[in-house]
Amino acid sequence: MNELTTSSERNKTSWILVSISTMLTASIIFWYFNNPEGFIENGIGFRKDVFSNIFIWIFTLFIIMGYIAYTIIALPFVKAHLFTISRLKVIGIWAAIVAGIVEEVVFRHLLMEYLLTIGYSEVTQILISGMFFGIAHGAWVLLKGDWKFAVPAILSTAILGSLLAMLYILAGRSTFAPIIAHILINMVIEPWLMLSAVSGKWDSK
């Protein structure tokens, strides 16, 4: 990793992840203490029957394995560091957990429940959720002017967002399975995905 990225790039990535993770952690703490039972049951989506449908968890595993496989094929840099253990990886695990929770609460629970209340169909909810998810995750690459990776990043995360939205609906509008999928995907590919964006190094060489 040291040959591919500079100390400055790794430090910048660390600070970005720490800053984002701190804000997301604060959001989780606020939501929890504002309404503990509501946050656990509706925000996190943890209910008594959450493990009762095996199909939901097979679909969850399909999403996890599919997106990780796509990422390591599309981004050799991520593949090259998949099993690298470092201080940056520890920060990446923290970021994976809090981002997985907050993003699923926002893009699935809050957004899709709002769309439901104003009369949008489930298909439209899935498409809108995926679209916003893709834009949110591809914007940082787009701002760097790196169109070669910005467009695939937006499209791939939009597809991931749509699959997670489908999972949310199939799970009885519970965010628990999407959160688990999101966290596990992020745990594998972060912080290398962020380091790639910061350094502009997408290949393994």
Burial status of residue 161 (CB atoms within 10 A of its CB: 0-12, 13-18, 19 or more): buried
pLDDT for position 1:
46
* Cα distance between residue 198 and residue 184, in whole Å: 22
pLDDT for position 125:
98
* Cα distance between residue 104 and residue 183, in whole Å: 10
pLDDT for position 154:
87
Single pTM value for the model: 0.92
Which mean pLDDT values do the consecutive 10-residue runs of the chain (205 residues) have?
A: 74 94 97 96 93 96 97 88 89 96 97 97 98 86 62 89 98 97 96 84 62
Residue identified by tokens 């520890």 is 90
